[in-house]
Amino acid sequence: MIVLGIDPGTATTGYGVVARAGDGAVSLLECGVVRTEPSSPLPLRLRTIFEGVVEVLERTRPDVVAVESAFYAKNARTALVLGHARGAILLAATLRDLRLAEYAPAEVENAVAGTGRATKEQVQFMVKQLLRLKDVPRPEDAADAVAVALTHCFAAALPTVAPPRPPRPPRRPRKHDNPMQGLAG
């Protein structure tokens, strides 16, 4: 399975492509960033992100795209603009009929570093360790995207368990269920 992980951003969108073998072994195929021109208007930046993601999709041909979901930003404008970038990414994958998965930042931190409150440095260190790399992937946005891809690899490796069935409602007593019925003379 080949997973393209994406860390959305309007200035820099990171991507990481990770392969997961049948035995669960993971390896980094490539990583990098799509950069936009900071002085460009938002529509042009979104176009750059869309076209950059399309180019990565065509080159790497992933089975699934894993995207870090939006976080709650203190600044509403920041969250809104990030949502636009995510929309361009989701559209690029959807137009190619690719499966999509979304993971909250805390889910990524938990899957890669073992705690949902891990620092960026802890996540980057674990990415390096898990993939047996000499150095942490650079730039930082690429390393974050590799962590998103690893999160999907690990989530896909977990066995799925059917949710427990709800308890049956109590059976209503029937006339013939009463052992005392018919005994009175």
Continuous H helices in 95-130: 105-113, 120-130
pLDDT above 50: residue 157: yes
Active-site residue numbers? 7, 68, 141
Q: Which domains does the chain have, with CATH numbers?
A: 2-158 (3.30.420.10)
Q: What share of the chain is helix, strand, coil (3-state, %, to 5)?
A: 45, 20, 40
* Beta-strand pair 12-20/26-35: antiparallel
Which amino acid is residue 183, in one-letter code?
L
Contact predicate 102/151, CB 8 Å:
no
pLDDT above 70: residue 72: no
pLDDT above 80: residue 77: no
- Cα–Cα distance for residue pair 66/103, rounded to 1 Å: 7
Confidence of residue 82 (pLDDT cuts 50, 70, 90): confident
Furthest C-alpha separation in the chain: 97
Mean pLDDT of 157-173: 56
Which residue(s) pair with 65 in the sheet?
4, 100
Burial (Cβ within 10 Å: 0-12, 13-18, ≥19) of residue 117: exposed
Chain-centre distance for alpha carbon 117: 17
pLDDT above 60: residue 83: yes
Mean pLDDT of 31-47: 96
pLDDT above 80: residue 74: no
Q: What is the pLDDT of residues 123-146, one digit of tens each?
A: 999 999 999 999 999 999 999 999
pLDDT above 90: residue 60: yes
CB atoms within 10 A of CB 179: 7
